[in-house]
Amino acid sequence: MNNKQILPVLMISTAFIVSCDETKQAIQNPFLTTYDTPFGVPPFDQIKDEHFKPAYEEALRQHTAEVDSIAGITEDPTFENTILALENAGSLLTRVSYVFSNLNSSTTNPAIQALDKELAPKLAAHRDNISLNAQLFSRVNRIWDKRESLGLSSEQLMLLERSYKSFVRNGANLSDADQAILRDINAQLAALTTQFGQNVLTETNAFELIVTSDDSLAGLSDDLKAAAAETAKAKGHDGKWVFTLSNSSVMPFLQYAANRELRKQLWDAYRSRAGNGNAQDNSEVLVEIANLRLQKANLLGYPTHAHYVLEEAMAENPANVKKLLDNLWKPAIAKAKAEAYDIQKEIEASGKNFQAAPYDWRYYSEKIRQKRFSLSEEELKPYFSLAGVRQGAFDVANKLYGITFKKLDSIPTYHPEVEVYEVLEADGSHIGIFYVDYFPRESKRPGAWMSSFRRQYTENGDRKAPVIVNVCNFTKPVGDQPALLTFDEANTLFHEFGHALHGLLSNVTYSSLSGTSVSRDFVELPSQVMENWAEDPTVLKAYAKHYQTGAAIPDELIAKLESAGTFGQGFATVEYLASSILDFDYHTITSPITVSAQEFEKTSMAKAGLIDEIIPRHSSTYFQHIFSGGYSAGYYSYIWAEVLDADAFAAFKETSLYDQATASAFRKNVLEKGGTVKPAELYRKFRGADPNPIYLMKKRGLD
């Protein structure tokens, strides 16, 4: 659904039934009145937890009334009175949901989590009530059958196709008995996926590695130790050091800590999240999710969940995905085995005689990198201040598209650490609002993502601007020192900023087709292509400045970065592909899983040929992407889109880094179009041809 105003007739029909008590409630509940804020952003300074439930109740009531009114129209169905009316319905529900889902991910609490559990099955039932409304589907179906004679624009046709397929793919053609089964499955899945995500967050927050001796921190830099000391103080362990399961804490520890036993403790906790046999164990939850997804796919006429998902993806079917994964796995595992050999030799050269384990890989790989390329992450970090990297991303967007970013200090935010920017065209006209939320906290789920508080759409020829947010988990500033990023974190900032540009520069008519409303294996193109600029030597010289001296990153360091560019790509590619294969194995089952999640994963990885020194980037019990994050049978999307982004960046390299004709073509045919055109067609319009995978192979050193 979208953020537009509901149809006037529907507004009138609901206005007469608002009582005095409801009017008073509306005045007190910011969701039930027009936002009186700059640019119409959510009034976070007024929104309280207790506002969500009554707002949802009213939103569901309104949306139900709107849908019933559309279904009950006696006139013949038309695009305007049915498809457009459905598109315009549910504006309050959309508004509340955008705020609630974002806050639940980035600054949750027990009250929000409890409401999330309560709402999940209710919202699933509400969606089913629309998708399985026979009277409503009849109207949509009749329009679909005569679509070619209606004189619709290409965007109207796409909205009609999306609407029709949504009904069919959500069970509109099923018998009453099968629809009842589908409703039950959807309710269960809504509850289970919510539980899965909450379990991971609880387990992530529960663990603390408390270190009491400075001797145990050998190998760690002063800033890492200072950050751990601040974490300890905040958690009531003053005078000690605390390391958590946040990536900004655990990964540097595994990379630099000389104490192997402590590395093992932290790794074991990270690896076993939500799989510890306690109340937060996801082992049975995820198996039930996978089995229910199979049951749902079969009910809808698909052999597997993957077939159901990929029907609407750029990949089209599981065979195409498997071909890509297989083609990449062979050279990647060969490179990873060579890297494992080097790591074992490094262990032995250091006078140790143990077999390399997963918690040794990053530590000894870093030692090899320093020896081979004289390159240390700690040597790089002073040049990657958060402010500098963010400005670097802004500058790239300015040079490509002419847009600018103006910091706003009077806009309400949902957390004190959040900053807000107005995004402007070269002529000063308003594009949208951009929130950034960069630091970890216990109320925030792990990872990095882009989301929306309002999606772009057009009303009566007037472009309604989007409100976009980037959320990450970078290490916080320590003392007087600013937040310093690793090179990987700098890439992450550019990546999520690419998603933000996709949402901000959208220029379509219908909200449900705007911005990132594209298939999973295409949505990563705008994000991943930005990483190429983050790594380019010319761009690095412009934004990577020493936080103390202001000096640009030296040419020698850039040369080392380039020399080490494909170092460790065997490991990086294999751990990613392993997760992709695991995802695919869970979602290409043709009969229910009867073994434990641990046994299923073990069998999956043995079949793939994964070596003991590496585990999947996301193991089953904390694999949020596929069990609570919308990427089921779709984790392959990142590598699929990497084929696209490597080829797309080659288009710039063939001309110039900021070639205006190429940038304009990318903006016009990819960033602005959202889901109004099929992804493959959009890409061909930009590039003039299908993507060539050779650029990806070269980029990862697998050619």
Average pLDDT over residues 539-547: 98
pLDDT at 351 over 70: yes
**Among 227, 253, 570, 564, CA closest to 380:** 564
Compute, in degrees rounded to 10, the torsion defined by CA atoms 649, 653, 657, 660.
-80
456-476: pLDDT as tens digits: 999 999 999 999 999 999 988
Average pLDDT over residues 32-54: 97
479-537: pLDDT as tens digits: 889 999 999 999 999 999 999 999 999 999 999 999 999 999 999 999 999 999 999 99
Portion of the chain with pLDDT greater than 70, in percent: 96
Categorise residue 482: left if φ over 0, alpha if ψ from -120 to 50, beta otherwise: beta
239-257: pLDDT as tens digits: 999 999 999 999 999 999 9
pLDDT of 25: 52
pLDDT of 14: 30
Average pLDDT over residues 643-651: 97
Amino acid at residue number 99: V
pLDDT at 601 over 90: yes
pLDDT of 27: 56
pLDDT of 702: 83
Please give the structure tokens belonging to residue 10.
């529907």
422-441: pLDDT as tens digits: 999 999 999 999 999 999 99
pLDDT of 211: 98
Average pLDDT over residues 119-143: 98
Output the pTM of the full model.
0.92
Portion of the chain with pLDDT greater than 90, in percent: 93
Average pLDDT over residues 48-62: 98
pLDDT at 365 over 70: yes
Burial, 236: exposed, middle or buried (Cβ in 10 Å; 0-12, 13-18, 19+)?
A: exposed
Element spanning 180, H or E: helix 176-206
Length of the chain: 703
Helix (H, G, I), strand (E, B) or coil at 406: strand
Are the C-beta atoms of residues 413 and 436 closer than 8 Å to each other? Answer: no
Residues catalogued as catalytic: 496
Q: How far apart are alpha carbons 154 and 547 in whole angstroms?
A: 50
Please tell me the least confidently modeled range out of 45-49, 54-58, 246-250, 586-590.
Answer: 246-250
Task: Give the model's confidence band at 321: pLDDT under 50 very low, under 70 low, under 90 confident, else very high.
Answer: very high
Average pLDDT in the chain: 94
Q: How far apart are alpha carbons 590 and 597 in whole angstroms?
A: 16
Task: Give the model's confidence band at 478: pLDDT under 50 very low, under 70 low, under 90 confident, else very high.
Answer: confident
Report residue 550: phi and psi, to 5°: 80, 0
Task: Give the model's confidence band at 2: pLDDT under 50 very low, under 70 low, under 90 confident, else very high.
Answer: very low
pLDDT at 345 over 90: yes
184-231: pLDDT as tens digits: 999 999 999 999 999 999 999 999 999 999 999 999 999 899 999 999
Categorise residue 274: left if φ over 0, alpha if ψ from -120 to 50, beta otherwise: left
Average pLDDT over residues 31-45: 97
